[in-house]
Structure 1
């Protein structure tokens, strides 16, 4: 059975490695957008994680002509009315990095006793013609009072997970993957991957037929 190529719609090598590891037993070849040279950036202007994940996946699939998997994930902090939410990556401004985002969050949380927060992840797997599968998961935790740990990325150093008594940035990749929002969504995706493969093959066959139909029409016109 031929391997199916799935492009992860990210430039984050950490994410790609996580997904490649998870699907290593399946006949898929995992690439990401850095394998294809410069391609335009999708507009991430959706009103929620679901919409953004689909926009990224569909845009990447259409540009590259291959199935694409995108995730949109972020942090929702109860005391901040769900912020930073869909703006998690750009919380401290369009050019902000992880350090600035974390600084801004800790400042916003100064003096707040309610530290409850949750990470949300929505995965969208799209084919070039548009249809997509969606998976969603959350991880509940608390915001710390200072940065803790050096692993991971994003808000990992300020997101404390009580059952393990650690922030995400203090966990090994295995520990984090076993409890994180993305880990949960990806496991759900992996656990249904036999069905996903069937769905992908059917969609890709359909696309091939449509393409052949288009070419035949052009020949006759």
Structure 2
């Protein structure tokens, strides 16, 4: 059996001390807190005015002994901020923000700044200005050091650093070797990178991918 006390007793800063080699016990796929957070998010995509969204977030905050609870309307930003606090070191934040970017574009619901996203172009924009892009990009613009001009750093060998992030960087480029090695099919490069061709077909169903594997040339 696993030793949950040892696994939870993380000391130091590497986030892995206290881990065991595992055992034969059942695995937890979700923590209850994440179930509340996911339900709150799903409710938001259906109806942002749903008054029970705050109840899901407050259930997580109350368990964490927080004294300040949500009282009124909750934004997708509130939900994502709660995810950041509750699931710190437990999820890939970059991937989660991209997932939510797609969900917002599909639902048509606004973010915390009132921006609405279009499924046709939320991930097909370029530039480093403050307008447009995906929800992922807007979070970067509001909360990070990217695209803010020169950043002065008082450290040996570091000065006048300028961090930039493009809207197209929501997705990374597919390595060219992966594209050219696939001689029986055609992989689509992501928008904004060399080799991108909007005419390259994208599979809609898993059956299409399976049929592509059977191509002889």
| Larger strand proportion of the pair | 1
The answer, yes or no, to whether TM exceeds 0.5 is no
TM-score (norm 2): 0.25
| Larger helix proportion of the pair | 1
TM-score (norm 1): 0.24
Relative contact order, CA 8 A, sep 6+: which one is greater? 1
